[in-house]
Amino acid sequence: MGNVPFHFSYHPSYNLRLGDHVFPSVKFERIREELEKRGLLSEANLLKPVQATREQVMLVHSPDWVAALMDGTIRYDQVMRLEIPYSRPMVEGFLYHTGGSIEAARAALRDGAAFNIGGGFHHAFGGHGEGFCAIHDVAVAVRVLQEEKAIKTAMVIDTDVHQGNGTAGIFAGDHSVFTLSIHQRDNYPYEKQTSDLDIELDDGIGDLEYLSALQAGLEEAFSRMQPALVAYVAGSDPYEQDKLGGLQLTMGGMMERDLLVMRAARSRGIPIFVTLAGGYAVKLEDTVALHTNTALALAATMTA
């Protein structure tokens, strides 16, 4: 595909080694392979993140939760809420995902865009993890850049089929970060938080209705804030054949979704970094294709 004008973050530890689990974290390896095969990814545009530090994670998460994860003091009820098995490789994987989002955010400020082949763990709250999400990598990346005085403001645009409840909880009352979540109303998490803008969708909505609602939401969000950085949480689970979703977007509609978000940022001159969040298609190759298409959409946006 020629020179891709942005960088990708990736580390082999993104595979959380969860075993037989509905969350197919092997997808990150497969997406990387597919991006290389398509000519989007090479050593020249690959960022190799280090693990996020305890200090960086604690910009978002409570000392008790950080100790539970990093020192192994986690309780049974905390593991149950997290819904994935606890292990040292799992924790290290999340720390690499978070380091990848930090690097992608920094690269986006330099180049206009960047893509983390992972991340988007939007159900993690400051004091606990839930819904397969132990560390909120996007929130940590935003806080690190704010701490470094690289940015003052950010916008999180979340198109995962599930509400970004952890994002809303972490940034509640913080006027420096605008949170937008477009999601299926009657789906996990059943107790929703309040984002700056929530677009709640009925079951079974397809491409046209979804894209219309998203377009209106983007216009409203950018009328309320012109951020220094956009974090795009691009879950692939609004797809019509997703096991944990109840919307009916086609493969083409999903790519149009990505293009809408990316062009909204690009047309306003706002840097954007992408994280992948959820994706549980009946066929793993569909999940890989959807996430790969998100990278293709970013390449098309940045070279237009």
Q: 162-185, pLDDT tens digit by residue?
A: 999 999 999 999 999 999 999 999
Mean pLDDT, the chain, rounded, equals: 96
- Look at residues 36, 29, 33, 28 and name the one whose alpha carbon lies nearest to residue 4: 36
Q: What is the pLDDT of residue 79?
A: 96
Q: 247-299, pLDDT tens digit by residue?
A: 999 999 999 999 999 999 999 999 999 999 999 999 999 999 999 999 999 99
- Of 20-24, 144-148, 269-273, the one with minimum mean pLDDT is 20-24
Give the pLDDT band (50/70/90) at residue 99: very high
pLDDT of 20 above 90? no
Spans of all domains in the chain: 7-303
Helix (H, G, I), strand (E, B) or coil at 113: strand
Q: CA triplet 274, 130, 167: central angle to 5 degrees? A: 45
Instruction: Centre a 10 Å sphere on the Cβ of residue 206 and count the other Cβ atoms it contains.
Output: 14
Q: 224-235, pLDDT tens digit by residue?
A: 999 999 999 999
Give the pLDDT band (50/70/90) at residue 3: confident
Helix (H, G, I), strand (E, B) or coil at 154: strand
Q: Can you say how many angstroms the Cα of residue 290 is from the centroid of all Cα atoms in its chain?
A: 14
pLDDT of 13 above 70? yes
**Alpha helices, DSSP H, located in the chain:** 27-37, 54-57, 63-70, 76-82, 88-111, 137-147, 165-171, 207-224, 251-267, 284-303
Q: What is the pLDDT of residue 19?
A: 82
- Of 18-27, 79-88, 138-147, the one with minimum mean pLDDT is 18-27
Q: How is residue 104 written in tokens?
A: 């992608």
Whole-number Å distance between alpha carbons of 274 and 228: 15
Q: What is the pLDDT of residue 7?
A: 97
* End-to-end CA gap in the chain: 14
Considering the entire predicted model, what is its pTM?
A: 0.97
Q: What is the pLDDT of residue 286?
A: 97
Q: What is the CATH number of domain 7-303?
A: 3.40.800.20
CA distances from 172 to 167, 169, 179 (A): 8, 5, 9
Q: What is the pLDDT of residue 96?
A: 98
pLDDT of 83 above 80? yes
Mean pLDDT of 53-62: 98
pLDDT over 70, % of the chain: 99
Phi, psi of 202 (to 5 degrees): -70, 155
Q: What is the pLDDT of residue 2?
A: 55
Torsion of CA 24, 28, 33, 38, to 10 degrees: 110
Q: What is residue 8's DSSP assignment?
A: E
Report the DSSP beta bridge partners of residue 274. Answer: 115, 232
pLDDT over 90, % of the chain: 95
Q: 187-225, pLDDT tens digit by residue?
A: 999 999 999 999 999 999 999 999 999 999 999 999 999
Whole-number Å distance between alpha carbons of 251 and 283: 13
pLDDT of 157 above 70? yes
Instruction: Centre a 10 Å sphere on the Cβ of residue 48 and count the other Cβ atoms it contains.
Output: 13
pLDDT of 151 above 60? yes
Q: What is the pLDDT of residue 57?
A: 98
Q: CA triplet 191, 259, 27: central angle to 5 degrees? A: 65
Q: How is residue 139 written in tokens?
A: 């929130």
Residue at 103: amino acid letter:
E
CA atoms within 13 A on the CB side of 113: 25
